[in-house]
Amino acid sequence: MNYWTPELLAPAGSLDKLKVAVNYGANAVYLGGQKFGLRSAAENFTVEQIKEGVEYAHGKGALVYVVLNSFFHDKDFDGLHEFIVYLDEVGVDAVIVSDPGVIEYISQNTKLEIHLSTQASCLNVEAAKMWKKLGVTRIVLGREVTIKDAGKIKKEADIEIEMFVHGSMCMAFSGNCVISNYTQGRDSNRGGCAHSCRFEYKLEGADMEAKNSFFMSSKDLEGIRVLQEFIDAGIDSLKVEGRMKSYLYAGTISKVYSEALDYYREHGNFLSDDLGRWEAELNKVTHRAYTEASLINPAGADTIYSDREHEIKEYAATGAVLEAVEGKFLLVEVKSAFNVGDQLEVLPFKGPSVSFNIDFIKNVLGENIERSNPGSIVKIPFVPGIDGNNLLRRKVIQ
């Protein structure tokens, strides 16, 4: 018997990250083009890369959503018609939009499915009903909504619901933050967020001693232990934040949550001996301290992250396996240098990571070398059970 589970939706900050997320089990990915999104500093996709990404994802049974969630001024509509028609033609599965005018424009000019971005800050049943009337088929709720309230919105508004399950959090209501506008002169709701909430500020008051604080910085969201609540509430899609994070992040988070959901599909519960391993894996990606934020109860003071300069980073991405030649070697694309004698870990698509020692490194000419260089392709010892496109990492905190 297969039990129902929500879609796992992963970030795709680049074509490489899209492929990694899909290979490691994401059911869908979301990405941004060169315009109209909220991550202007990200790599973002060219139209050719979007087409290639759609073909790759669909070939693996995954869906592709494209963000158009900036708040538009009239001049921002320049080029929108050509872009959305192209997205429709290449088979993008949905677009994620904030602006009601853009929603109407897309509805009139394409057959694209429209998801409401969390930037629109939908928090209640009546708002959900209104967006549904405008043609929205799915709502990405604001991160201030609990799972219980999200279930009520889904039931009473009768619309698909998507919620964040993992990643960085905003301190402000989604779509209502203008800190970067004032501190950096960058419009946070039109692609210019400078993450000013992560900065250290000086607090002064008449009845207090002045002190420095990161009081607006939030811990990171982690929902691995409340997946059952998402399922009970009928939440349709679980979204992972992080289009600007590394491909190792995209692969690790996709692997962990997809394994957990796979387990549920087979057993109807999360009483797996692997729960501890899944949590350990989530701790191996760069992150702030974790919180369940508002998933169960409204976020309180305990969700503030007061140590911005010390994000936890235990492992660094080292490379990706291009080919595993049985019994002989792994052909690896090197992302960061490593030496003979180092210990690396391979992240298989399923199951525990595998540690092994680098007994030799050979360049493409077959010559022994002591150290690999970033961007190079090298041969390292063969590891049983490893496939092409598996990721390599190295512990950086001993």
Q: Render pLDDT for 276-314 as a digit per residue (tens, 0 to 9).
A: 999 999 999 989 999 999 999 999 889 988 876 556 678
User: Span 96-106, mean pLDDT?
Assistant: 96
Q: What angle do CA 101, 104, 105 make, to 5 degrees?
A: 85
Q: Which amino acid is at 357?
A: N
Between CA 15 and CA 323 the distance in angstroms is 19
Is the pLDDT reported for residue 189 higher than 70? yes
Mean pLDDT computed over 312-328: 90
Average pLDDT for residues 14-21, to the nearest whole number? 96
**Bridge partners of residue 393, in order along the sequence:** 317, 345
Mean pLDDT over 355-365 rounds to 95
pLDDT for residue 311: 62
Helix (H) or strand (E) holding 163: strand 160-167
Residue 180 confidence (pLDDT): 86
Residue 223 near residue 278, CB atoms below 8 Å? no
State the SS3 of 310-331.
CCECCEEEEEEEEEEECCCEEE
Residue 280 has what pLDDT?
Answer: 95
Mean pLDDT of 185-190: 81
N-terminal to C-terminal alpha carbon distance within the chain: 43
Identify the pLDDT of residue 312. 66
CB distance 26 to 11 below 8 Å: no
Max Cα distance, the chain (Å): 71
| pLDDT value for 308 | 62
Residue 373 CA to residue 204 CA, distance in Å, equals 49
Distance separating alpha carbons of residues 131 and 136, to the nearest angstrom? 6
- Going by pLDDT thresholds of 50, 70 and 90, the confidence category of residue 82 is very high
Question: Average model confidence (pLDDT) for the chain?
Answer: 93
**Does the pLDDT value for residue 41 go beyond 80?**
no
- Partnered with residue 203 across adjacent β-strands are 211
Tokens of 251: 């692969």
